[in-house]
């Protein structure tokens, strides 16, 4: 066969036996036909006419400026082999408008998003038939990662293109203009900062605002800009580009409201919502057909809601979605597909879709899973970003490495919730760090704050990090770079980290008795738990002597409660451990195990070990209580300082009162006698007769009790007090003093100046409010003491009496003080969750998927309040073009 016989026209007809003349004639005819059937109007090849405004004396129905869209809107869809037209005819004696909203050719959708494209369907429609018959050929989804470009754009934003599907466009019109309630940005125009104003929504019912473009749009003109009556007068500023000249906004809005193009569009909208569509008037069966399509769309949404519930269930539980083998013959296709299989048995809606729906729209692929997860995450993240507008916040950050050897930084935001009347913390996101220098970490935090949340550094009043030099460096650390953006910003060194450092540095390293004691405890743990056989011997001995075994704990520099737990376990299991290690020593045939067992027995039966065991147990129990309280996300600075002061007072009491030491020493003697441990005697030494600067030669203890008291007990307490005093003398103490005096209504001039620098308060107004509060009769009970309860008493009193507007400076200071974080433990908790989500079997998880799943896993209270309709709109927006299911 020759090559010419295989030639094919763009209408899919082959040349066959046609000669060259007839073949060229056929190609020319098809080309002309294709040009005629294109969607693009010939008017689009010419520049539009200038916008014309109608005179003020022209009369139009005022009701057209504020319309209500009923739920039973019907469209007319004129279908051809290549295009779809949505047409509305407004029947009126004086005005007949025909609005044509063109759809792009469904056989080709040019992708705008480089991250993801779901290929559109090829639709061929037979207009001669009453029922709509379509032949759909859809290719497979394109494998892509999550997209960030449109992650946090609301699906209703006017800057986005209108949906091409008729039913989806109907929903846009039903929902009405997009009027977000937010803090509108202001730009310098001339000598004043100007921007969109909230009262425009009330004055102009047709107006809508786009946060993406920071521009105003006209809702009817944007929807019905294809009206043939106003096509030559299209106001691009209100229908396509968006209006941004805020200096003359009111005048422009009034002129547009009176213009022909707006009134034509509004008249068309008014007639359109009455359901007087021309296709229904011509074809009575069209209404039934459209009703059937709407019912099918609602069924698809019900099916998709079940997929959302499955996704949320797995995400909240931290469970994996996919299976190792998801083929048809697999008996375990992963939890996502297995749950869909389970619903198939008992849910008629799910079963009907799986059996009667499109065979290529089961929505069970990993790409669809990613899109559903991202849609849910974007929905909640957008709600959080709206809440944070016009609020003062604090940022908490910490880093760790995950199982995939990636450095991850967790970010948590703290703000004051007016509804709950208390500060709250929410997990923001997980950022992967490619470098751990201060600039890279700051850039990551700045990107989340500016780009993801849409906030500025002026809204941040404090940051809370750990004490690493990269984070806390005052010259080139992350806190220094944050203060470059906002010099009034406070840095808080995590109080829980500080307390842990006191334990590690002050107690565990400088005191030789304590140092050896902790080393022995760690060796005991490694010796017993390092072998299943040795652990079994320990359990057998515990059963024989009828003692409940307490689990041994390892000592770590990062686990803050491990020291107290390890000491408690050793003391409870002491007799069991001695017998078990002795049995291991007698029965083992390994020389190294025998040597270790012998060494442990000697160490455990020493007087110093028993003394340290009894000395540290009560001290570390107190520190554990304080450490656990410092890890609470509801804690504020005032309560944290009270805890530290209480801890200092307790340690000072231990240091100054001999009763506590006498009790510890008596317990040590009793335990030594029970286990036949010899109490060493103090070797008597003479004081050097020569002049000597060495203090150890000036005085010698006469008894072992005195020796341990001065060389070990006092030394440990003194080092702990020194560490607490040095590590908790931060800049936040000045703030605590100022707020403490303020809630007692006696702030000094320096206190007021400091509050002005930190919280940007008006000193004169605050002084006036304090004077008024001092003279009120029912405020005396709130001015006694400086505690967190007093702050909440004030806030509750101001809130329930509706005095927040009167004493706004006073209440704002208290709220912002409560926003200042105390600890970064919320980040630590997110790392615990991350270890559940990202395991060794899921170590290659995409970062965006990990971030979204971790958010749903951590913020479970928020996840329970999902809005299905908004999630579906998010899901539809993630790709260009139309989804395979009409949702």
d(CA 187, CA 421): 33
Which residues, at least 6 apart from 642, have a Cβ–Cβ distance to it below 8 Å? 787, 788
Considering only CA atoms, which of 70, 273, 74 is closest in space to residue 167? 74
Q: Is the dihedral of CA 452, 454, 455, 456 positive or negative?
A: positive
Question: Which among 262, 218, 231, 270 is positioned nearest to 92, based on CA atoms?
Answer: 270
Those residues whose C-beta lies under 8 Å from the C-beta of residue 527, and which sit 6 or more positions away, are 534, 581, 596, 597, 600
**How high is the pLDDT of residue 58?**
34
Question: pTM above 0.85?
Answer: no
Mean pLDDT in runs of 10 for the chain (887 residues)? 59 76 79 60 44 34 38 34 36 34 33 37 34 33 35 78 77 85 83 89 92 90 70 76 90 90 81 66 74 86 94 93 87 91 91 86 90 93 88 92 92 92 92 91 92 89 88 88 90 83 71 88 92 93 90 77 86 92 92 93 93 91 86 79 87 89 92 88 65 58 83 88 76 80 88 88 90 80 73 86 84 91 86 91 90 93 90 86 79
Cα separations (Å) of 864 from 375, 857, 861?
A: 15, 11, 6
Unique residue bearing structure tokens 């934003």: 157
CATH topology of domain 377-493+824-867: Nucleotidyltransferase; domain 5 (3.30.420)
- Count the alpha carbons within 13 Å of 269 in the hemisphere toward its beta carbon: 30
SS3 690: coil
Segment holding 193, helix H or strand E = strand 192-194
Instruction: Please state the φ and ψ torsions of residue 465, each to the nearest 5 degrees.
Output: -130, 180
Long-range contact set of residues 304-309: C-beta below 8 Å, sequence gap at least 24: 304/363, 304/872, 304/875, 304/885, 304/887, 305/868, 305/872, 306/343, 306/347, 306/349, 306/350, 307/340, 307/363, 307/372, 308/372, 308/376, 308/866, 308/868, 308/871, 308/872
CB atoms within 10 A of CB 134: 12
The 3-class secondary structure across 772-826, one letter per residue, is: HHHCCHHHHHHCCCCCHHHHHHHHHHHHHCCCCCCCHHHHHHHHHHHHCCCCCHH
pLDDT for the residue 700? 62
Q: 3-class SS at 416?
A: strand
Residues 6+ apart with CB under 8 A from 185: 195, 214
pLDDT of 93 reads: 32
pLDDT in tens, 91-150: 333 333 333 333 333 333 333 333 343 333 333 333 333 333 333 333 333 333 333 334
Whole-number pLDDT of residue 596: 93
Tokens of 582: 């002795």
Give whole-number Cα distances, 310 to 303, 348, 354, 564, 815, in Å: 11, 16, 16, 42, 39
Count of positions (residues) in the chain:
887
Provide the phi-psi class of 881: left if phi over 0, else alpha when psi is between -120 and 50, else beta.
Answer: left
- Determine the pLDDT at residue 559: 67
Strands 207-210 and 215-218: antiparallel
In this predicted structure, what is the pLDDT of residue 369? 93
CB atoms within 10 A of CB 656: 9
How far separated are the first and last CA of the chain, in Å rounded?
A: 49
pLDDT for position 233: 65
Pairing mode, strands 393-401 and 460-465: parallel
pLDDT in the model for residue 688: 59
Domain ranges of the chain: 4-36, 44-282, 298-364, 377-493+824-867, 500-688+695-727, 732-819
- What CA–CA distances, in Å, run from 396 to 353, 716, 810? 46, 32, 25
Instruction: Judge whether 660 and 653 are in contact, CB under 8 Å.
Output: yes
- Tracing tokens 């060794």 back to the chain, one arrives at 840
């Amino acid at each position: 066969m020759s090559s010419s016989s295989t030639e094919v026209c763009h209408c899919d007809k082959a040349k066959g036996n046609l000669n060259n003349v007839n073949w060229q004639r056929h190609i020319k005819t098809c080309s002309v036909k294709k040009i005629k059937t294109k969607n693009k109007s010939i008017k689009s090849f010419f520049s539009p006419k200038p916008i014309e405004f109608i005179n003020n004396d022209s009369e139009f129905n005022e009701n057209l400026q504020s319309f209500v869209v009923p739920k039973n809107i019907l469209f007319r869809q004129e279908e051809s082999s290549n295009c779809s037209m949505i047409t509305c005819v407004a029947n009126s004696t004086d005005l007949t408008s025909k609005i044509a909203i063109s759809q792009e050719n469904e056989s080709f959708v040019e992708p705008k998003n480089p991250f993801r494209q779901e290929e559109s369907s090829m639709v061929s429609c037979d207009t001669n038939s009453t029922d709509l018959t379509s032949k759909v050929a859809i290719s497979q989804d394109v494998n892509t990662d999550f997209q960030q470009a449109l992650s946090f754009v609301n699906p209703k934003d006017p800057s986005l293109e209108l949906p091409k599907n008729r039913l989806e466009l109907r929903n846009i019109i039903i929902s009405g203009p997009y009027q977000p309630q937010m803090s509108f940005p202001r730009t310098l125009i001339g000598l004043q900062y100007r921007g969109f104003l909230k009262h425009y929504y009330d004055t102009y019912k047709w107006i809508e605002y786009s946060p993406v473009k920071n521009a105003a749009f006209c809702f009817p003109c944007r929807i019905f800009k294809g009206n043939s009556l106003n096509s030559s007068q299209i106001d691009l500023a209100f229908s396509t580009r968006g209006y941004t000249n805020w200096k003359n906004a009111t005048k422009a809005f009034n002129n547009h409201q009176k213009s022909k193009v707006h009134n034509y569009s509004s008249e068309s909208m008014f007639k359109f919502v009455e359901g007087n569509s021309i296709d229904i008037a011509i074809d009575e069966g069209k209404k039934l057909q459209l009703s059937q399509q709407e019912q099918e769309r609602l069924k698809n949404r019900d099916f998709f809601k079940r997929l959302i519930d499955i996704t949320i269930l797995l995400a909240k539980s931290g469970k994996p979605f996919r299976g190792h083998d998801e083929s048809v013959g697999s008996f375990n296709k992963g939890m996502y597909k297995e749950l869909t299989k389970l619903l198939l048995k008992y849910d008629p809606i799910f079963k009907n879709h799986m059996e009667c729906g499109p065979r290529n729209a089961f929505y069970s692929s990993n790409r669809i899973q990613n899109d559903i997860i991202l849609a849910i995450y974007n929905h909640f993240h957008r709600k959080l970003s709206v809440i944070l507008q016009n609020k003062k916040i604090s940022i908490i950050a910490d880093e760790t490495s995950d199982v995939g050897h990636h450095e991850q930084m967790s970010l948590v935001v703290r703000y004051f919730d007016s509804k709950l009347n208390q500060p709250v913390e929410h997990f923001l996101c997980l950022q992967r760090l490619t470098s751990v220098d201060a600039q890279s970490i700051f850039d990551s935090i700045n990107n989340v704050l500016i780009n993801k949340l849409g906030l500025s550094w002026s809204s941040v009043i404090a940051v809370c990090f750990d004490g690493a030099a990269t984070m806390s460096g005052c010259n080139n650390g992350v806190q220094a770079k944050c203060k470059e953006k906002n010099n009034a910003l406070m840095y808080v060194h995590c109080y829980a980290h500080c307390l842990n450092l006191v334990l590690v540095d002050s107690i565990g390293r400088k005191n030789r008795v304590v140092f050896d004691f902790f080393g022995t405890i760690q060796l005991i743990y490694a010796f017993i738990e390092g072998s299943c056989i040795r652990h079994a011997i320990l359990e057998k001995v515990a059963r024989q002597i009828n003692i409940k075994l307490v689990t041994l704990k390892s000592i770590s520099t990062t686990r803050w409660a491990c020291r107290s737990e390890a000491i408690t376990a050793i003391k409870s299991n002491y007799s069991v451990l001695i017998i078990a290690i002795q049995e291991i020593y007698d029965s083992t045939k390994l020389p190294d195990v025998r040597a270790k067992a012998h060494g442990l027995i000697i160490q455990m039966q020493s007087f110093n070990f028993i003394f340290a065991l009894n000395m540290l147990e009560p001290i570390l129990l107190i520190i554990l209580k304080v450490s656990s309280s410092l890890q609470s996300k509801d804690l504020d600075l005032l309560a944290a300082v009270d805890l530290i002061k209480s801890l200092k007072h307790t340690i000072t009491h231990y240091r100054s009162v001999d009763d506590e030491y006498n009790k510890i020493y008596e317990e040590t003697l009793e335990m030594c006698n029970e286990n036949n441990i010899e109490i060493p005697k103090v070797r008597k030494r003479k004081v050097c007769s020569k002049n000597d600067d060495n203090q150890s030669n000036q005085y010698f203890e006469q008894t072992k009790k005195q020796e341990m008291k001065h060389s070990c007990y006092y030394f440990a307490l003194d080092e702990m007090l020194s560490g607490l005093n040095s590590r908790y003398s931060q800049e936040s103490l000045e703030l605590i003093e100022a707020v403490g005096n303020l809630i007692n209504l006696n702030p000094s001039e320096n206190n007021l100046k400091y509050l002005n620098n930190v919280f940007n308060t008006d000193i004169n107004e605050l002084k006036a409010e304090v004077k008024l509060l001092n003279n009120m009769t029912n405020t005396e009970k709130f001015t006694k003491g400086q505690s967190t309860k007093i702050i909440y008493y004030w806030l509750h009193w101001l809130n329930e009496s509706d005095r927040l507007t009167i004493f706004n400076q006073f209440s704002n200071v208290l709220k912002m003080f409560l926003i200042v974080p105390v600890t970064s433990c919320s980040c630590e908790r997110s790392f615990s969750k991350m270890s559940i989500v990202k395991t060794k079997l899921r170590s290659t998880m995409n970062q965006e998927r990990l971030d979204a799943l971790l958010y749903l896993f951590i913020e479970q209270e928020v996840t329970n309040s999902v809005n299905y309709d908004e999630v579906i709109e998010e899901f539809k927006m993630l790709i260009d073009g139309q989804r395979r299911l009409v949702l």
